[in-house]
């Protein structure tokens, strides 16, 4: 005689409508409290920023804040405050955006000196006056990010960068009209750099050019013409979509927490 396994039902006790309503109410109440706390924190942040402006107190650099976006800094007491764009996502944050380049249009010496600002359009440069002051206020590390159209990204780093000349804007404008050098030659220059060493070539005896090291790369990218394929001043360029340059105070971890 065949045996038949008895099927046993599983009884699941569903919450009553009253219990469901109570849970929904608790979730809704928690959500409202979170929104209220967020609003309070936002008001406090805005009030703190306004208080800083009214009291004349400003942060020294982007490594001293978690704020992403435009922030007013003052490099030293008595100096003129100015706005910078802080990047807090890359490599633990604390970076100041120096350059963002998209279409490589020709710029004047005045634009190099004062900078230009249109991040939304892809074009931004801090300006040589501010860059000179920033790099002379304390040691800074440097980060280049190059984004290609095939979605690959390459980075170039330097442990230290100093803009040597306060009149760099004049030299940079002249450089736009000089003979160009290829991307492959630039990569050969990068290969010459000792791993882990400083990239401060501006006053190096081995450099015979007016522009050396990172400063040469900055100008190389500033004059890059993305829009005019047939009249490109750069030989053998890869298909670059966007490039960015950042600076961050050396030992940023120590800076933030002290």
Considering only the C-alpha atoms of the chain, give the largest distance between any 2 of them, rounded to a whole number of Å: 104
Grade residue 194 by pLDDT with cuts at 50, 70 and 90: very low
pLDDT value of position 78: 79
| Averaged pLDDT, 78-104 | 86
Percent of the chain residues past pLDDT 90, beyond the cut: 8
**What pTM was computed for the model?**
0.65
The model's confidence at residue 97, banded by pLDDT at 50, 70 and 90, is very high
């Amino acid at each position: 005689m065949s045996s038949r396994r008895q099927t046993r039902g599983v009884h699941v006790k569903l919450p009553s409508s009253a219990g469901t309503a109570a849970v929904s109410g608790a979730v809704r109440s928690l959500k409202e409290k979170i929104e209220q706390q967020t609003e309070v924190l936002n008001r406090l942040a805005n009030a703190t920023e306004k208080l800083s402006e009214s009291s004349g107190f400003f942060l020294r650099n982007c490594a001293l804040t978690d704020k992403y976006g435009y922030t007013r800094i003052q490099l030293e007491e008595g100096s003129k405050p100015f706005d910078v764009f802080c990047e807090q996502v890359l490599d633990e944050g604390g970076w100041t955006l120096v350059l963002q380049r998209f279409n490589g249009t020709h710029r004047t010496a005045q634009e190099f000196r004062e900078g230009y600002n249109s991040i939304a359009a892809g074009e931004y440069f801090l300006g040589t006056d501010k860059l000179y002051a920033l790099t002379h206020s304390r040691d800074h590390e440097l980060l280049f990010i190059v984004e290609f159209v095939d979605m690959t990204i390459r980075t170039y780093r330097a442990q230290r960068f100093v803009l040597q000349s306060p009149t760099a804007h004049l030299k940079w404008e002249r450089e736009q009209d000089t003979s160009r050098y290829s991307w492959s030659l630039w990569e050969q220059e990068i290969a010459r750099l000792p791993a882990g060493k400083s990239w401060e070539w501006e006053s190096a005896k081995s450099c015979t050019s007016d522009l050396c090291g990172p400063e040469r790369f900055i100008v190389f990218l500033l004059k890059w013409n993305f829009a005019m394929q047939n009249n490109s001043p750069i030989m053998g360029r890869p298909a670059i979509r966007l490039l960015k340059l950042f600076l961050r105070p050396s030992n940023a971890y120590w800076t933030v927490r002290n």
